[in-house]
């Protein structure tokens, strides 16, 4: 029996276009990604076949504006469709997010900014190059920003530098947890532009460059044998004197900084994978207790009040999470109000923490046989653990921001209390 939608069109009032994309993603992921997910996870292997399918289905260009040949999905539409992918293969959804982010930053987000006509023309020129590669050749873009310091949390300038030259930049630096490393065609790297090697680093000079994976000086290092999200292959990426020509700029100078400051909901794009996992853990539990889970004995366990209570608890948590998340992604816009921003942090925290909580309740409720590696639940449990760790909005940092925003008006500090 085919799964039902996480967000059905009528109840959640999706537009026809939103619903069509969600259905397309669900049917593809259920039929093709779900059967492959265990293999990628076991081998910690990148889901190459899934990306071929995404290209064939035109979904690699889901957030490329229509005038550039893409499907023109906005942030909310993308989040909804990506949750359907996360439900069947978390690693595919998470890596897909890194790829799609390159189109969101340069597409719908940049389009929502107030840019002068010269900058807009430059953006139009450069993004066209990237969009054509994606649509025509199935090019995959990664999004390495983490460096192991404060930069990924948005507190400091990126330590990866892009030294200006007449023809482009010389990039040097190291990115950790670079999902798709060794598999992406382009690394959409965030770096700090500098005039000389001794220039001071400033966040205002953040550059967003597409570094072709086969450029001299690009190398991938380290083992990849993590607890969860194993198919993301998030190894260490090193750039050593990598020359990047002007044509590889993803956004004109200053535009990334502006977009990141004005579009905070963009940082929620890591959540759909985990929204999907939460739904999958719940679905698994219901099927298992009804004795309908393929690969398990057809024994029913639904008649025990303890199971009914546990499923009720999971359903309450799932509905709370879905509602808050849906509300928050519906509010995504440039320069949201403080209330909307607090809600975005709250939604991020809730999805990341509750996905793991629902998955652990699922294991406790279904019991020992359900955590065998032949079934998907133990993978969902391990994958779900990764969400709260992802910068810049880790669960801890969300709580920190919510608490401070709730107790201090903008511009207030302890000095005002004296």
Ligand X SMILES: Cc1cc2nc3c(=O)[nH]c(=O)nc-3n(C[C@H](O)[C@H](O)[C@H](O)COP(=O)(O)OP(=O)(O)OC[C@H]3O[C@@H](n4cnc5c(N)ncnc54)[C@H](O)[C@@H]3O)c2cc1C
Residues in contact with ligand X by the rule CB under 6 A: 98, 143-146, 148, 150, 152-153, 155, 177-179, 229, 232, 234, 386, 389-391, 394, 396-397
Q: CA–CA separation, 83 vs 76, rounded Å?
A: 11
Of residues 377 and 390, the one with the C-beta less far from ligand X: 390
Residue 65's contacts (CB-CB under 8 Å, 6 or more residues apart) are 72, 107, 108, 111, 131
Of residues 54 and 370, the one with the C-beta less far from ligand X: 54
Peptide bond into 64 cis (omega under 30): no
Of residues 355 and 366, the one with the C-beta less far from ligand X: 355
Sign of the alpha-carbon torsion through 346, 101, 72, 52: negative
Of residues 126 and 143, the one with the C-beta less far from ligand X: 143
Phi and psi angles of residue 310, each rounded to the nearest 5 degrees, phi first: -65, -45
Least separation in angstroms between CB 176 and ligand X: 6
Q: DSSP letters of 347-380?
A: HHHHHHHHHHHHHHHHHHHH-GGGGSTTSSHHHH
- What does the block give as tokens for 270? 């890591």
Of residues 240 and 404, the one with the C-beta less far from ligand X: 404
Least separation in angstroms between CB 232 and ligand X: 5
Q: DSSP letters of 145-175?
A: ---SSSTTTTSS--SSEEEE-SSEEEEEEEE
Sign of the alpha-carbon torsion through 348, 351, 354, 360: negative
Least separation in angstroms between CB 396 and ligand X: 4
Report whether 84 contacts 275 (CB < 8 A): no
Least separation in angstroms between CB 119 and ligand X: 25
Least separation in angstroms between CB 10 and ligand X: 35
Least separation in angstroms between CB 153 and ligand X: 4
107 closest CA partner among 130, 86, 84, 85: 130
Of residues 72 and 226, the one with the C-beta less far from ligand X: 226
Least separation in angstroms between CB 148 and ligand X: 5
Of residues 32 and 234, the one with the C-beta less far from ligand X: 234
């Amino acid at each position: 029996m085919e799964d039902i939608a996480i967000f059905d069109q009528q109840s959640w009032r999706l537009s026809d276009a939103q619903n069509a994309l969600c259905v397309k993603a669900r049917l593809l992921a259920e039929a093709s990604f779900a059967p492959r997910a265990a293999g990628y996870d076991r081998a910690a292997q990148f889901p190459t076949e899934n990306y071929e399918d995404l290209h064939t289905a035109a979904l690699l260009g889901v957030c490329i504006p229509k005038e550039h040949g893409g499907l023109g999905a906005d942030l909310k539409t993308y989040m909804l469709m990506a949750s359907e992918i996360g439900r069947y293969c978390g690693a595919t959804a998470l890596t897909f997010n890194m790829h799609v982010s390159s189109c969101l930053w340069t597409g719908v987000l940049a389009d929502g900014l107030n840019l002068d006509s010269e900058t807009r023309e430059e953006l139009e020129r450069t993004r066209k190059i990237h969009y054509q590669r994606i649509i025509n050749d199935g090019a995959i873009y990664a999004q390495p920003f983490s460096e192991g310091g404060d930069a990924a949390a948005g507190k400091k300038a990126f330590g990866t530098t892009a030294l200006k030259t007449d023809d482009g930049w010389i990039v040097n630096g190291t990115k950790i947890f670079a999902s798709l490393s060794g598999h992406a065609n382009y690394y959409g790297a965030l770096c700090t532009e500098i005039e000389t090697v001794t220039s001071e680093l400033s966040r205002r000079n953040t550059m967003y460059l597409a570094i072709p994976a086969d450029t001299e000086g690009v190398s991938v290092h380290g083992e990849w044998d993590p607890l969860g999200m194993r198919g993301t292959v998030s190894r260490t990426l090193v750039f050593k004197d990598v020359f990047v020509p002007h044509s590889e700029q993803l956004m004109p100078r200053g535009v990334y900084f502006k977009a990141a400051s004005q579009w905070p909901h963009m940082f929620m794009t890591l959540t759909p994978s985990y929204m999907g996992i939460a739904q999958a853990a719940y679905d698994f539990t219901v099927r298992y207790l009804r004795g309908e889970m393929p690969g398990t004995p057809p024994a029913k366990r639904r008649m025990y009040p303890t199971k009914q209570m546990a499923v009720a608890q999971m359903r309450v948590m799932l509905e709370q999470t879905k509602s808050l998340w849906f509300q928050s992604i519906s509010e995504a816009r440039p320069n949201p109000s403080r209330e909307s921003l607090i809600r975005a942090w709250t939604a991020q925290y809730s999805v990341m923490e509750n996905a793991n909580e629902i998955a652990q309740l699922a294991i406790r409720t279904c019991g020992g046989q359900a955590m065998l590696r032949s079934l998907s639940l133990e993978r969902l449990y391990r994958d779900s653990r990764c969400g709260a760790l992802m910068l810049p909005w880790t669960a801890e940092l969300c709580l920190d921001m919510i608490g401070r925003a709730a107790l201090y008006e903008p511009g207030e500090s302890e000095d005002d209390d004296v």
